[in-house]
């Protein structure tokens, strides 16, 4: 004859719910369910629940672990964003370069218009003196047109600053799972920075920050 535990184990194995378990036990016991049988079922149920809780614990632990790692990744990326650097360097660089572009294009425009106005108002006694006056103003126009070269270099620096910001935001996006990882941009940027350093590519200096022609002439004696 089966023991209470054996009966309970058999019932629990086949039962899908506690009610079903009790019904089947009652049937097996002829309508009377002994307390000891109930205690055995409870004991068996506790055993199976414990393994369920243990599995749940591991699963929840794993999830919290993953969330914790994600938070650390985001924290690390935000720290590497170096908001003060962005605030103190990249963004101000872009702003200053754009202002310098506006100023230099304005200066060049005035210079060119001034030369054109002078040409229109030249009064000369001879053809030679007229030609000399015109050539002088034309040379001024040529010199003024050099703003395009310097402007182009300043625009490149603005683009670099924006690409720097774009890359850092991209890393944040990867950290929060909003984008897939791409080392390509970071590698390209590293290569570009490395080349700039090796070939001393500083670009046009901020107003007043570069060495003047007189100082350069002094270096060449």
Q: Sketch the per residue contact string, 126 through 165, with another protein: x for CB under 8 A, - otherwise.
A: ---------x---x--xx-xxxxxx-xx------------
Contacts of another protein in 159-218 (CB under 8 A): 199-205, 210-213, 216
Of residues 2 and 211, the one with the C-beta less far from another protein: 211
Measured CA to CA, the distance from residue 158 to residue 10 in angstroms comes to 77
Of residues 36 and 155, the one with the C-beta less far from another protein: 155
Least distance to another protein, CB of residue 144, Å = 8
Alpha carbon 202 to its chain centroid, in Å, reads 25
Q: What tokens appear for 129 in the block? A: 């003196």
Least distance to another protein, CB of residue 187, Å = 18
Of residues 24 and 156, the one with the C-beta less far from another protein: 156
Of residues 47 and 210, the one with the C-beta less far from another protein: 210
Contact 100, 155 (CB under 8 A): no
Q: Kindly report each contact of residues 43-50 with a partner whose C-beta sits within 8 Å and lies 24 or more positions away, as own/partner.
A: 43/5, 43/8, 44/5, 44/8, 44/9, 44/12, 45/12, 45/18, 48/12
Q: What tokens appear for 205 in the block? A: 């200096």
Of residues 69 and 206, the one with the C-beta less far from another protein: 206
In terms of Cα–Cα distance, which of 36, 31, 51 is closest to 5?
A: 36
- Interface with another protein includes 113 (CB under 8 A)? no
Contacts of another protein in 90-109 (CB under 8 A): none
Measured CA to CA, the distance from residue 72 to residue 214 in angstroms comes to 54
Least distance to another protein, CB of residue 142, Å = 5
Of residues 90 and 104, the one with the C-beta less far from another protein: 104
Dihedral of CA atoms 4, 10, 16, 20 in degrees, nearest 10, equals -50
Residues of the shown chain interacting with another protein in the complex, contacts defined by CB under 8 A: 135, 139, 142-143, 145-150, 152-153, 199-205, 210-213, 216, 219-220
């Amino acid at each position: 004859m089966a023991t209470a535990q054996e009966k309970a184990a058999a019932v629990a194995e086949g039962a899908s719910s506690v009610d079903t378990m009790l019904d089947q036990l009652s049937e097996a016991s002829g309508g009377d369910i002994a307390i000891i049988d109930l205690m055995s079922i409870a004991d068996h149920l506790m055993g199976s629940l414990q393994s369920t809780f243990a599995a749940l614990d591991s699963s929840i632990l794993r999830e919290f672990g993953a969330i914790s790692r994600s938070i650390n990744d985001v924290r690390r990326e935000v720290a590497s964003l170096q908001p003060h650097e962005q605030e103190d360097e990249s963004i101000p660089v872009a702003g200053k370069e754009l202002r310098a572009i506006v100023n230099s294009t304005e200066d060049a425009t005035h210079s060119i218009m001034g030369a054109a106005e002078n040409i229109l108002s030249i009064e000369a006694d001879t053809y030679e003196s007229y030609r000399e006056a015109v050539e002088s103003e034309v040379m001024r126009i040529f010199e003024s047109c050099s703003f395009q070269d310097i402007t182009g270099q300043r625009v490149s620096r603005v683009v670099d600053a924006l690409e720097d910001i774009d890359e850092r935001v991209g890393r944040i996006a990867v950290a929060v799972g909003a984008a897939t990882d791409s080392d390509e941009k970071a590698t390209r940027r590293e290569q570009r920075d490395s080349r700039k350093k090796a070939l001393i590519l500083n670009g046009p200096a901020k107003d007043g920050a570069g060495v003047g022609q007189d100082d350069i002439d002094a270096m060449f004696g």
